[in-house]
Structure 1
Amino acid sequence: MMTMYTAKGRLDANALLKQYSPLVRRLAHQMIAKLPANVELDDLIQVGMIGLSDALTRFDSAHGVQFETFATQRIRGAMLDELRGNDWMSRGDRRQQRSIESAVHKLEQKLGRAPQESEIAAEMGMSLSEYQDLLGKVRGTQLVYLEDMTGDEGDDDYLDRHVADDEANPLAMLQDRRMREALVEAIKNLPEREQYVMSMYYEHDMNLKEIAAVLKVTESRVCQLHSQSIARLRSKLRAW
């Protein structure tokens, strides 16, 4: 284990930056999965490292908080501030995401099963290639939080609801456990290939390139499958 302090008893900034850089990458990967394709992972990591540096200068062990906990909050905060300062997802993209979910829901009610891509495309008045391009564009929206089911279309607190850490909120944790139970059931009803994608991405922390290699498809195709899975799950959980 790398020491956190110098011989004089001060925090060793260089050692900590090296020790906790994997934490920055892990948080960035978790966050990027909830964001659209125009957000760059490297940008989040760079901003996260600034948050880590800020944590080093502000940390006070006398407050009784572990450094990793404190640093995680600072890193997340830096990333969220960066996202709020940029037009990371247009309202048009959000409307398109909701239109996919609406088409999926209508077809599920009509067909009594998970609709195929071609059927969703036809419902939306698109060719299959146009629909798949749209899936790539709206990549990585978060699944569903209970706020999504209120019918409120306001987007001002979208980042806080979909990306921020809910661990400090006991009610959110309870709601999340209930949501997870519904989510597990919804995933069981996904088409087989999409179940594989969700399992590899979220359970095994595999990246798009690794999943593509397993499925023998392109990374962009994995991205499309992921987006479509999210749309199916959001449709199911909105009705939960």
Structure 2
Amino acid sequence: MYTAKGRLDNSSLIKQYSPLVRRLAHQMIAKLPANVEIDDLIQVGLIGLTDALSRFDVGQGVQFETFATQRIRGAMLDELRGGDWMSRGTRRQQREIEAAVHKLEQKLGRAPQESEIAAQMGISLAEYQDLLGKVRGTQLVHLEDMSGDEGDEDYLDRHVADEASNPAALLQDHRMRQALVEAIKNLPEREQYVMSMYYEHDMNLKEIAAVLKVTESRVCQLHSQSIARLRVKLRDW
């Protein structure tokens, strides 16, 4: 889009590509803890979009959307690196949930219910569900397996950044997806729906909530619980 003087019309392009910013923010937010606000990611992403508009050179032979996606993601990652977005307490709570799930699976021979996990942890169901909301963004790969308990400074680059250009990462992702599909089959039915809609159909949490007719916070809880179960299943992968 160009102005009457033959220059790029930044206002029109920002309006056109704003949905891209929102889509990238929603994709990223589900991988992050609850203290990260979607509106903050979108705001930073718009700054990245503006930066992309000022730096884009059609002579580079790259489509603008591809170039903009990289700049938007980069802006979001820079913002996340600048904040204490994942505390050690959150990591500890993740491990406690997983330990309870693992112990109950060994004891019961099936996927434990939420009430059973809460009882195993010695807390009420309401407290457990609140905890699931707080640890939103738990990952399938164990942080401590890669960096130890002293920290994980490049975690964002490995798990949130776009590695589509890395052949080894693509192969690893393909194998992980195969293992993931098998593990998902053993999830409780509603959690299977959540994971399928999120990972297979690329739906965000708000869209999934509308389909299931529950609140977005409830979808976050189901997603976190599913991830905890899958981490246990894939621990030796």
For normalisation by structure 1, the TM-score amounts to: 0.89
Match for residue 30 of structure 2? 33
AA aligned opposite 1:43? D
User: In the alignment, is the contact (CA less than 8 A) between 2:31 and 2:160 conserved in 1?
Assistant: yes
| 1:74 counterpart = 2:71 | yes
1:90 — aligned with what? 87
Work out the CA distance in 2 between the residues paired with 1:216 and 1:57: 42
Q: Which sections of structure 2, spanning at least 5 residues, go unmatched?
A: none
What residue identity is the alignment partner of 1:163?
V
TM-fit CA distance, 1:187: 0.8
Q: Does residue 181 of the first structure (1) align with residue 178 of the second (2)?
A: yes
Q: What is the deviation of 1:8?
A: 4.7
The change in CA–CA distance for 1:151 and 1:107 in structure 2 (over 3 A counts) is: farther
| Structure 1 residue matching 2:234: 3-state secondary structure | helix
Q: What is the CA RMSD across the aligned residues, in angstroms?
A: 2.1
C-alpha separation between the residues in 1 aligned to 2:41 and 2:202?
Answer: 18
Percent of paired sites with the same residue: 84
Q: Quick one: distance in 1 between partners of 2:106 and 2:170?
A: 31
- The answer on 1:131 being equivalent to 2:155 is no
CA contact (8 A) 1:148 1:238 kept: no
Equivalent residues in 2 for 1:109-188, closer than 5 Å: 109-144=106-141, 149-150=145-146, 152-153=148-149, 154-188=151-185
Which moves more between the two structures, 189-198 or 151-160? 151-160
Query: What is the letter of the counterpart of residue 98 of structure 1?
Result: R
Distance in 2 between residues matched to 1:206 and 1:60, nearest whole Å: 32
- Name the aligned partner's letter for residue 189 of structure 1: N
Give 4+ residue runs of structure 1 displaced > 6 Å after superposition.
none
Q: Is the 8 A contact 2:52 2:68 kept in 1?
A: yes
Say if 1:39 and 1:88, in contact at 8 Å, map to a contact too: yes
Give the structure-2-normalised TM-score. 0.90
Distance 1:58 1:208 in 2: 32
C-alpha contact 1:33 1:142 (8 A) present in aligned 2: no
Residue of structure 2 in register with 1:99 after alignment? 96
Cα distance in structure 2, aligned partners of 1:213 and 1:16 = 30
| Stretches of structure 1 lacking an aligned partner (at least 5 in a row) | none
> Does residue 217 in structure 1 map to residue 214 in structure 2?
yes
Contact 1:200 1:211 survives alignment (8 Å): yes
Question: Which position in structure 2 is the counterpart of 1:10?
Answer: 7
Provide the residue aligned with 1:57 in structure 2: 54
Worse overlay, 179-188 or 10-19 = 10-19
* Residue of structure 2 in register with 1:193 after alignment: 190
Q: Which amino acid aligns with 2:129?
A: Q
1:34 Cα deviation after fit: 0.4
Alpha-carbon separation, structure 1, partners of 2:147 and 2:46? 37
Secondary structure in 2 matching 1:238: coil
Aligned length: 236
Q: CA offset at residue 35 of structure 1? A: 0.8
Q: Identify which range, 164-173 or 7-16, moves more after superposition.
A: 7-16
Q: CA deviation at 1:102?
A: 2.1
Report if the CA contact (8 A) 1:37-1:140 is conserved.
yes
Report Cα offsets for 1:106-138 as digits up to 9, x if no partner. 222232211111221222222222211111111
Q: In structure 1, give the amino acid aligned to 2:58.
A: S
